[in-house]
Amino acid sequence: MVDARMNPEAPPAPEHTAIYRKDYQAPDWWVRHVALEFDLCAASTMVRSTLSVEKNGEHDRPLRLAGDDLRPLEVMVDGGEARWALDGSDLIIELDGNAAKVTTSVEIHPDRNSQLMGLYASGGLLCTQCESEGFRRITFHPDRPDILSTYEVMMRADKARFPILLANGNKVEEGELDEGRHFARWEDPFPKPSYLFALVAGDLAANADSFTTMNGRLIDLNIWVREKDLPRTGHAMQALKDSMRWDEEVYGREYDLDLFNIVAVDDFNFGAMENKGLNVFNSRFILADQDSATDDDYDAIAGVVAHEYFHNWSGNRVTCRDWFQLSLKEGFTVFRDQCFSQDMSSEAVKRIEDVRVLRAVQFPEDNGPLAHSVRPDSYIEITNFYTATVYNKGAELIRMMRTILGPDTFRAATDLYFDRHDGEAATCEDFVRCMEEAGGVDLTQFRLWYSQAGTPKVRVSLTHEGSTAKLTLQQEVPDTPGQSDKQPMVIPLKTALISAQSGAPLAERLVLLTEADQVELFEGIEEAPLLSINRDFSAPIIIESAREDSELEALAAFDDNAFARFEALQELMLRQLIRAVEDGTSPKADGVIAAVRNTLADERLEAALKAEAINVPSEAMIGERLELIDPDAVHRARAELAAAIGGALMDELKAAQADGAPGDDLSVAGKGKRKLRGVALGLIAASDPQAGAQLAKAHYDAADNMTDRQAALKVLSGLDAPERDAAFDAFYERYCGDSLTLDKWFALQAAAQRADTLEIVARLTAHPDFTMKNPNRLRALIGNFGANQWIFHDGSGRGYDLLARMVIEADRLNPQVAARLVPPLGRWRRYEPGRAAKMKAALETILAAEGLSKDVFEQVSKSLSLA
């Protein structure tokens, strides 16, 4: 909320008020059952709803139903007249007695719904998105997650246009109507909150399959897409079946309905949605074939399919009491999907990828003006809180609890949680209590992870005397907006001491750091050991260690923990890069080159791990470690280190680049080879752009799969060579009819490390294939541009102006998606005063725009520290 005392000039925005967790109150009225009737048409849909409501406790307060952009055409109570009034957009109904049936009718316009919340039209389909507060754009309803109801849904529509009619649960009836219309009636027997409601109508074809559950029940599975996309649904279907089996085996969770439907739509605000029995997906996370999807796309599809499926228990059967508890379902479900993917592929590589996302997105969030705790205390627009903190840091909290409890006890604790809270709307506190009870542990201090924002920093040093090694640890939790003077956290650190001579582990321990200052002694250590700490990234923190470069080189060569080995080489590179930026010198490359050479030559390491370890940290990652970011200096240092590695190891890298895998080989080894050859190509081109351009073009031309094609284009995107334009033109020609794949063409150009990228992006905003109406396209171009540190932070400030313009325009169509473009501007405190002033000016331009949504208002005012 804007505090006028802090900012006397802030425009009054009384409608943009904050909601506080401490104000939670149980609902005055329950809704036990919802009966909906839809007469569906893109231009005008009639919605009639009958809510069976029941008073909660003794009071004489009326029923308050939320509406968003709705006008009541009819309001009835128990089939007769009603006493009602509008209070803003809410409908207030006076009720006598303890129970009633409340009927309302509204007319909505799916084809005018550019927010993609509620019922909207996408490519000839009608579909819904209700989480968090979209149901109130369909019908009047309390629309809060602690009200669970059974649903029945009657859908009527023109049969030619909408031959397939889907909703949650089971189809119980269907038939013909007059004038070419038909109907379907669906019932969902599992009580659910309104945010899990869904329907879809359209001309769809199914990839139909089935799954037999652990108790022998046969479940029908369908993935619904446009007919032409059917051949691209096989991978998603396999991922669904794998997920169903995995949840049975690992968590004992069986699917409950007899039918599980997935629908892919092209216009979608985020990845996918876990509506009960009817998941709706961004088509990007369903459709894949060798020609159009990269290995990363394949992995992301499996991860998202699993994530949404796992929500059936962690989210749907046990849901959230209020939106402050969002991490209860999201953190836990991300953790579950991460483990699933680890089990399905390479444990270490998947962990590295997840930690990379955490560091690239969540750490900056935790360290900026939008920092918030995993269980936030307030929000203006809840949609802004579907963040890396709630999702990814939330997942780390669950992972830490599992580490502390051990896997078997953790499983007993999740059993307790699911059994105790099945059919309920629960809180993060409920989850932690189950961990405590089943684990017989006291997690009082651990709960701080839910309430304290900011990434803890832990300083570590190791000394050795006689046969004792002494590990000294100091933790500090930084101040964040609205939070200072924080308490020490519980930080589980998987630690090992390693022989500097033989590489053998001398001691291994889970150190539980609970104090601000703590000492751990290791006895019986006869030699000065190497310190391997936060192995597997057991805690989401920043380690500051006084280890010498030579120690990191040794760990990079033989730490037996694959993650720690990767980490040592990355840390070694980062140190050289930071020194180079700070001192204005060239990075010292010798130690790094030796470590990269070792890594490439080590036959015990899987190819994907090599690729992760030798990849020079991104410019954003380097910037994150600097007090004040100089984007040009960071760019130069990174390019120099990459060039030095490429030059020194040209033969080894050429060999890796030449070692491909057939496009249909989707094994861990095949994917790893492709990943490594892409990284190798980048390093070669960094050292010799001309030879790199030729090799990249050959890499592109010979590719029989999108991973190789995209890797080549990525390298070419940064070069000033004729091969670049030729390859981009060829890509456009080949994929211009395939919207999903064309997103890559936009994304690669926006992410390009090339001085004229700013002009190219500006030009692309006027390209006939660019549209702000499609969130994938907007993110491909503008999202990637905002993440391109060197280009976006062009000293002229033109990058900031371009983003501000895009945010203002996008906000008129789709506030949720527009708000997500704002964070790069919010990082102005990290840049030198000239850039910082320009970034603030861009934020102020956005704030001054007429009719700003509360989504964008919240992000911008917080970025300027006004809220």
Beta bridge partners of 149: 192
The residue from 383, 687, 776, 861 that contacts ligand B3K (CB under 6 A) is 383
Give Cβ neighbours of residue 59 (< 8 Å, ≥ 6 apart): 28
Of Zn ion, ligand B3K, none, which one sits near residue 273, judging by CB under 5 to 8 A according to partner kind? Answer: ligand B3K
285 touches ligand B3K by CB under 6 A:
no
Q: Which is nearer to ligand B3K, 260 or 792 (CB)?
A: 260
Q: Binding partner of residue 132 among Zn ion, ligand B3K, none, CB under 5 to 8 Å per kind?
A: ligand B3K
Least distance in angstroms from the C-beta of 274 to ligand B3K? 5
Which amino acid is it at 740? L
Cβ proximity to Zn ion: between 332 and 790 the closer is 332
Binding partner selected for residue 452 from Zn ion, ligand B3K, none, CB under the kind-specific 5 to 8 Å limit: none
Of the ranges 99-107, 271-279, 419-427, 504-512, which one interacts with ligand B3K (CB under 6 A)?
271-279
| Annotation marks residue 58 as catalytic | no
Residue range at the interface with ligand B3K (CB under 6 A); choices 120-128, 267-275, 458-466, 797-805: 267-275
274, 308, 353, 612: the catalytic one is 308
Nearer to ligand B3K by C-beta: 274 or 353?
274
Of 211-219, 269-277, 410-418, 646-654, which part binds ligand B3K (CB under 6 A)?
269-277
Taking contact as CB under 6 A, which single stretch among the options 227-235, 272-280, 408-416, 774-782 is the one that binds ligand B3K? 272-280
Q: Which of 103, 115, 122, 132 binds ligand B3K (CB under 6 A)?
A: 132
CB 308 to ligand B3K: min, Å? 5
Closer CB to Zn ion, 303 or 368, in the complex: 303
Check if the beta carbon of residue 605 is closer than 8 Å to that of residue 636.
Answer: no
Closest-CA residue to 581 (of 412, 723, 731, 790): 790
Give the nearest distance from C-beta 192 to ligand B3K in angstroms: 13
- In the complex with ligand B3K, which residue's Cβ is closer, 274 or 619? 274
Work out which of 270, 323, 735, 828 binds ligand B3K, going by CB under 6 A: 270
Specify the stretch interacting with ligand B3K by CB under 6 A; choose among 140-148, 285-293, 305-313, 556-564.
305-313
Residue selected from 151, 298, 386, 746 as contacting ligand B3K according to rule CB under 6 A: 386
Which listed residue (53, 273, 287, 370) binds ligand B3K by CB under 6 A?
273
Walk across the sheet containing 83-87 and list its strands. 63-65, 90-94, 83-87
* Footprint (CB under 5 A) of Zn ion, residues 24-53: none
Is 265 an interacting residue with respect to ligand B3K (CB under 6 A)? no
User: How close are the terminal C-alpha atoms of the chain, in Å?
Assistant: 5
Query: Measured at CB, which residue is nearest to ligand B3K?
Result: 131
Find the shortest distance in angstroms from Cβ 131 to ligand B3K: 4
Smallest gap from residue 838 Cβ to ligand B3K (A): 30
d(CA 770, CA 774): 9
Site for ligand B3K in 821-860 (CB under 6 A): none
How many whole angstroms separate alpha carbon 506 and alpha carbon 532? 11
Binding mask 291-330 for Zn ion (x = CB under 5 A): ---------------------------------------x
Alpha-helical (H) ranges within 820-853 are 823-826, 833-847
Amino acid, single-letter form, for residue 161: R
The item of ligand B3K, Zn ion, none sharing an interface with residue 320, based on CB under 5 to 8 Å by kind, is none
CA dist 311 → 134, 139, 191 (Å): 19, 25, 15
Residues from 215 through 254 that contact ligand B3K (CB under 6 A): none
- Cβ-contact 658, 684 below 8 angstroms: no
**Residue 383 interacts with, from Zn ion, ligand B3K, none (CB under 5-8 Å by kind):** ligand B3K
Q: In the bound complex, what is the minimum distance in angstroms from residue 129's beta carbon to ligand B3K? A: 7
Quickly list H helices, 361-485: 363-366, 388, 394-405, 407-421, 428-439, 448-451
Say what the alpha-carbon torsion angle 831, 832, 836, 838 is, to the nearest 10 degrees.
-120
Provide the minimum distance between the beta carbon of 129 and Zn ion in the complex, in angstroms, as a whole number: 13
307 binds ligand B3K (CB under 6 A): yes
Q: What is the dihedral of CA 108, 110, 115, 118, to 10 degrees?
A: 60
131 binds ligand B3K (CB under 6 A): yes
**Cα 449 from Cα 63, distance rounded (Å):** 37
Listed in sequence order, the residues at least 6 apart from 451 whose beta carbon sits closer than 8 Å to its beta carbon are 373, 375, 377
**Candidates 270-278, 416-424, 638-646, 852-860 — which segment interacts with ligand B3K by CB under 6 A?**
270-278
Q: How far is residue 659's CA from residue 265's CA, in Å, rounded to a whole number? A: 37
Binding to Zn ion by CB under 5 A, coded x per residue (else -) over 461-500, reads ----------------------------------------
Nearest residue to 792 via CA among 745, 829, 744, 760: 760
Dihedral over alpha carbons 589, 592, 594, 595 (to 10 degrees): 180
- The stretch near ligand B3K (CB under 6 A) out of 3-11, 136-144, 176-184, 304-312 is 304-312
For residue 629, CA distances in Å to 118, 585, 625, 844 come to: 41, 16, 9, 22
Give the residue with the Cβ less far from ligand B3K, 282 or 707: 282
Q: Which is nearer to ligand B3K, 363 or 386 (CB)?
A: 386
Please classify residue 56 by burial: count the beta carbons closer than 10 Å to its beta carbon, then call 0-12 exposed, 13-18 middle and 19+ buried. Answer: middle
- Secondary-structure breakdown of the chain: helix, strand, coil percentages, each rounded to the nearest 5: 45, 20, 35
Phi/psi for 241 (5° steps) reads -65, -40
C-alpha–C-alpha distance, residues 19 and 25, integer Å: 12
In the complex, least distance from residue 407 CB atom to ligand B3K, rounded to whole angstroms: 24
Identify the three-state secondary structure at position 106.
Answer: strand
Q: Which of residues 705 and 814 has its CB atom nearest to ligand B3K in the complex?
A: 814
Give me Rg for the CA atoms of the chain: 28
As given in the structure block, the two tokens for residue 653 are 């890298």
- 95: tokens are 């009720």
CB of 323 to ligand B3K, least distance (A): 10
Residue 333 CB, shortest distance to Zn ion, in Å, is 5
For residues 330 and 794, which CB has a smaller minimum distance to ligand B3K in the complex?
A: 330
Q: Provide, rounded to whole angstroms, the least separation between the CB of residue 334 and ligand B3K.
A: 8
CB of 742 to ligand B3K, least distance (A): 25
Residue 234 DSSP one-character state: H
Looking up tokens 């091969």, which residue turns up?
Answer: 723
Q: Encode 113-151 in three state secondary structure.
A: CCCCCEEEEECCEEEEECCCCCHHHCCCECCCCCCCEEE
The bridge status of strand 278-282 relative to strand 259-265 is parallel
Nearer of residues 385 and 522 to ligand B3K, judged by Cβ: 385
What is the three-class DSSP state of 278? strand
- Distance in angstroms (rounded) separating the CA atoms of residues 136 and 150: 17
Question: How far apart (Å, rounded) are the C-alpha atoms in residues 467 and 524?
Answer: 5
State the minimum distance, in angstroms, from the CB of residue 146 to ligand B3K: 16
Q: Is 274 in the site for ligand B3K (CB under 6 A)?
A: yes
Residues 316-355 that bind ligand B3K (CB under 6 A): 330
- Nearer to ligand B3K (CB atom), residue 395 or residue 752: 395
Distance CA 44, CA 809 (A): 26
Q: What are phi and psi of 462, to 5 degrees?
A: -125, 130
Tokens of residue 355, six digits: 């930690």
What residues are annotated to the active site?
308
Q: By CB under 5 A, name the binding residues for Zn ion.
A: 330, 333
Q: By CB under 6 A, name the binding residues for ligand B3K.
A: 131-132, 270, 272-274, 307-308, 311, 330, 383, 386
